Every structure is written in C-alpha cells, then in structure tokens.
C-alpha cells in the first residue's frame, strides 16, 4: 500500500513526465492527477488508494478472460526463458508462431486463410489496407486503390488506420490524411440518417456503399472496411441484412470486403467472431485485443485464399513488424484462446449480455434512450427526450458526468461520444456481478441528472 504522500508524488510525476494517449490534460489537472490503478482480479481493479472498481470496459474492450490469470503469466515466463524472440522475417519461423497461425486460421470464418501477425489493431489495419491495394496492383489495376470506411469508425491511429477512422477530434492537426480513404454514413437505426424505421426501410445504409462505388468509379475502389459492430463509435449493431447486402455489393463491383474484428474477435459479441452473426465471409480480417485478452500486445490479419494467391504468385509481401509473431505473444495467445474455449466464455458473453441489457432497460430511467449491443459489447444511449430522441446539448456532457459519479460508486465506466456509456466487461462476468453493476449504474445515472 502507498502512503498519501507517495500517491500525491506519483500523480505529480505522472503529470510531469507522462503524455497519455487520448486523455484530456485539462481534466486530469482538474482531478489533481490521473486515476491510478495498480491491481486487477477477475472483473475488478484496485486503485492505489485501495478502492475497488468493476471494469465496465474490459480495459479498452480487450480483457476477455479477466484479470489475474496466472496461467498466462506462467506460459509467458516459460517462453521468455526458452526463446524470448527470434525473427520471422527472412524465412525464419518458430514452433509457436506455426501453432498460432494454424489455430487462428482454423477458427476464423474465412476460406482457407493465411495469417499475418502484428502487435495491435492499428498495425493490423494498415496491413489489411496494404494487402488490399497490393491485391489489385498485382492484377495490373493500380488505380483500384480507394478504401471506403464509415462515419463513427475507429480503426486505429497510425496514418493508414487513422485515415479510415472517422470520429471527432482524431484528424485535427494531422491532415493531410491518406487521400485514398472515403467514408459513407454508418448504419444506426435509432438515429437513422435517412429518417426510416427499422424493418420498413430499403437498407439505405448498405445502398450508400453502391452509391459511393459508382461515384468513385468501380475501377478506382479497392475495398470496403467495417467493424462488424461499431466499437468506440458507440457499440452500434447494424440492421438485419446489412452485411449480406454489403457482401453482394462488394461482389458486384469487384471490391474486397475487409472486417475489422479487433474488438469483436474472440468472443466479445457472443459468437467467436462478429461476422458469424451474419454468416458473411470477409476477404481480409483484422484481429487484436481479445486474441491475448490484452495480457501482451498482439494482433493478426486473416488473408483469404483469393488474396493470398496473388501474393504467393508474386513471391513476397514486403511488409512486417519487428514484433510480428513474437514468441511470448504467441504463447500467451494460445493459452488465452484455450481458456476462452475451455470456460465457454463466448456462450457466457451471449447470456450475460442479454441479462445486462434487459436489467438496464428495467431501470426505466427517463434519460435512457437506447440500450444496444451484442453479447458483452454494449452501450447505453442517454437522451434528453426519449420521444424525439433528442440528445443533450453538450457533447460528452451528461455521459462524462455519469462516468465521474460512477467512479465514486465503484465503476470504471467510460463515456463514448454522443452521450453513450460503454458496457463491455470481461467475458467471465457472473449474474451477481451484472446485478451489482446495473444497480451502481442506475444510481449513477439518477445522481447525474
């Protein structure tokens, strides 16, 4: 345990030396420093002050198996001692990279895929975009280079991934972006941009892809990329039929379909991969986060036979990261996937997600507009008026206030843009935990109004 003086010094040192990713420095100053977490167990974390919080966000949507898994620490230690690293460039390999590639290839909903390894989601996205462009380049179609993404997408922050991302603030100061990226409106029935009601529309959100391809010219479009369920943009689930129609449009215009399963992969949505909800196979798939439950950085890209064949005939993919297929990451990932399978965490995500959404709806609070999600990838939409679905005035205002109060009530709860609250706990969550979480959430929302 730390003394009050030590904690104060730590906060000062943090503010003095540490530039945080995507954190308001003004907010941190007003709190007198960051919230410092030092321990985790199951779905809970402990601050340096000794307070316990339910982790409503699974870290950053990544912790599927929960905190404190000694099994994962043990395999990491063993692998570090045996062979902490060797390159997989230049024709080298190691047994766990081979085992991991085989494991992932056999799990993902793709035809006869090959697996490329990265250290995280942004790298997986850049890899996927480069593969898509190379695929057309190798067919003598270098102009087929536009990649279409969607508003509210989050694909990461490296330049390629950032150019696909479309959330407020992320582009400010970083333009020009990679010009090949284009965006169409994302699907969200509750706030349908076409003013339609779910079930009585013509999937205008999917047709928007066809319009964009025609606008750019099919000979100029390489790929369409989407998160199966939009994550950071608000846990937004598309309407029935959306991805089937997207796949048809991609096939009609010879455009690759790329699925960013960085959050949805490895069980979070109540199926092992998000696209399994729609039975649609992507040509390229990005993974990260849940692949190791975040115990160690790792990402992967699934490459369908269609795309791989071109690379294979060309003979080389001139792309790679020093840490691609890091042996320790492979060891942790294999054990993590074993735990997800052994403990039926995918089924638990499905069941507990349903319970979570239903208990939040039962709170029947006047400012809860929509409770949405799949499995344990959920958001609560706060609105000023549920009849007209009018949002509160200030972006982040109410959700930020709820989060601040929730912290006092024992929840580490993150506001999402446009008055959303992220509810994506580790997949090991129990019924009793859900009841406690919803009770604390309800009280926090009431106190914030």
Q: Going by C-beta distance under 8 Å and a sequence separation of 6 or more, which residues neighbour residue 236? A: 152, 186, 187, 188, 229, 230, 372, 379
Whose Cβ is closer to ligand PLP: residue 272's or residue 434's?
272
Min dist. Cβ of residue 162 to ligand PLP (A): 10
User: Do residues 107 and 302 lie in contact, with contact meaning Cβ atoms separated by under 8 Å?
Assistant: no
Whose Cβ is closer to ligand PLP: residue 56's or residue 367's?
56
User: Do residues 129 and 137 lie in contact, with contact meaning Cβ atoms separated by under 8 Å?
Assistant: no
Closest residue to ligand PLP, based on beta-carbon distance: 121
Residues that bind ligand PLP (CB under 6 A): 60, 120-122, 125, 154-156, 227, 231-232, 260, 262-263, 288
Whose Cβ is closer to ligand PLP: residue 185's or residue 248's?
185
Min dist. Cβ of residue 264 to ligand PLP (A): 8
H or E segment at 102? Answer: helix 95-107
Min dist. Cβ of residue 389 to ligand PLP (A): 26
Whose Cβ is closer to ligand PLP: residue 66's or residue 265's?
265
Whose Cβ is closer to ligand PLP: residue 40's or residue 121's?
121
| Bridge pairing between strands 411-412 and 52-55 | parallel
The secondary structure of residue 67, as a DSSP letter, is B
Between helix 305-314 and helix 121-137 the angle, nearest 10°, is 70
Whose Cβ is closer to ligand PLP: residue 122's or residue 304's?
122
Min dist. Cβ of residue 246 to ligand PLP (A): 16
H or E segment at 385? Answer: none
Task: Give the side-chain half-sphere CA count within 13 A for 107.
Answer: 26
| Bridge pairing between strands 146-150 and 114-118 | unpaired
What is the distance of C-alpha 3 from the center of its chain? 37
- Tokens 């699907």: give the residue: 187
Whose Cβ is closer to ligand PLP: residue 121's or residue 353's?
121
User: Do residues 231 and 260 lie in contact, with contact meaning Cβ atoms separated by under 8 Å?
Assistant: no
Total Cβ atoms within 10 A of residue 161: 29
Phi and psi of 141, rounded to 5°?
-125, 65
User: Do residues 299 and 136 lie in contact, with contact meaning Cβ atoms separated by under 8 Å?
Assistant: no
Min dist. Cβ of residue 289 to ligand PLP (A): 7
Whose Cβ is closer to ligand PLP: residue 163's or residue 444's?
163
Min dist. Cβ of residue 45 to ligand PLP (A): 19
Min dist. Cβ of residue 234 to ligand PLP (A): 12
Min dist. Cβ of residue 186 to ligand PLP (A): 13
User: Do residues 448 and 402 lie in contact, with contact meaning Cβ atoms separated by under 8 Å?
Assistant: yes
């Amino acid at each position: 345990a730390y003394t009050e003086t030590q904690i104060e010094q730590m906060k000062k040192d943090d503010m003095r030396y540490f530039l945080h990713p995507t954190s308001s420095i003004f907010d941190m100053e007003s709190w007198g420093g960051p919230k410092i977490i030092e321990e985790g167990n199951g779905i809970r974390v402990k601050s340096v002050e000794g307070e316990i919080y339910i982790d409503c966000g699974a870290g950053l949507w990544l912790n599927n198996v929960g905190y404190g898994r000694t099994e994962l620490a043990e395999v990491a230690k063993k692998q570090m001692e045996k062979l902490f690293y060797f390159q997989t460039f230049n024709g080298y390999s190691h047994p766990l990279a081979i085992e991991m590639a085989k494991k992932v290839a056999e799990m993902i909903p793709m035809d006869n895929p090959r697996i490329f390894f990265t250290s995280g989601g942004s790298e997986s996205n850049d890899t996927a975009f480069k593969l898509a462009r190379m695929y057309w380049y190798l067919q003598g179609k270098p102009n087929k280079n536009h990649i279409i993404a969607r508003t509210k997408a989050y694909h990461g922050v490296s330049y390629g991934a950032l150019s696909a991302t479309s959330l407020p603030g992320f582009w400010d100061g970083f333009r020009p972006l990679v010009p090949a990226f284009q965006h169409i409106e994302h699907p969200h029935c509750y706030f349908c941009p076409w003013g339609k009601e779910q079930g009585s529309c013509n999937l205008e959100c999917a047709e928007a892809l066809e319009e964009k391809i025609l606008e750019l010219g099919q000979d100029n479009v390489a790929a369409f990329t989407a998160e199966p369920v939009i994550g950071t943009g608000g846990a937004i689930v598309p309407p029935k039929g959306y991805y089937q129609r997207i796949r048809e449009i991609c096939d009609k215009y010879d455009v690759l379909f790329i699925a960013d399963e960085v959050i949805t992969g490895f069980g979070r949505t109540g199926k092992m991969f998000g696209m399994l909800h729609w039975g649609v196979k992507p040509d390229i798939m990005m993974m990260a986060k849940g692949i190791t439950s975040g115990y160690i950085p790792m990402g992967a890209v699934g490459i369908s036979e269609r795309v791989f064949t071109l690379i294979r005939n060309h003979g080389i993919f001139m792309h790679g990261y020093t840490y691609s297929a890091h042996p320790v990451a492979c060891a942790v990932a294999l054990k993590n996937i074993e735990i997800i399978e052994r403990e039926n965490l995918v089924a638990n995500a499905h069941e507990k997600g349903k319970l979570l959404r239903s208990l939040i709806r039962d709170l029947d609070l006047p400012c809860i507009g929509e409770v949405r999600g799949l499995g344990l990838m959920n958001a609560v939409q706060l609105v000023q008026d549920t009849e007209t679905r009018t949002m509160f005035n200030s972006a982040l205002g109410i959700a930020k206030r709820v989060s601040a109060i929730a912290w006092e009530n024992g929840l580490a709860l993150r506001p999402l843009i446009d008055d959303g609250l992220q509810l994506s706990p580790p997949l090991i969550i129990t019924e009793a935990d859900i009841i406690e979480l919803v009770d604390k959430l309800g009280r926090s929302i009431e106190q914030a109004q």
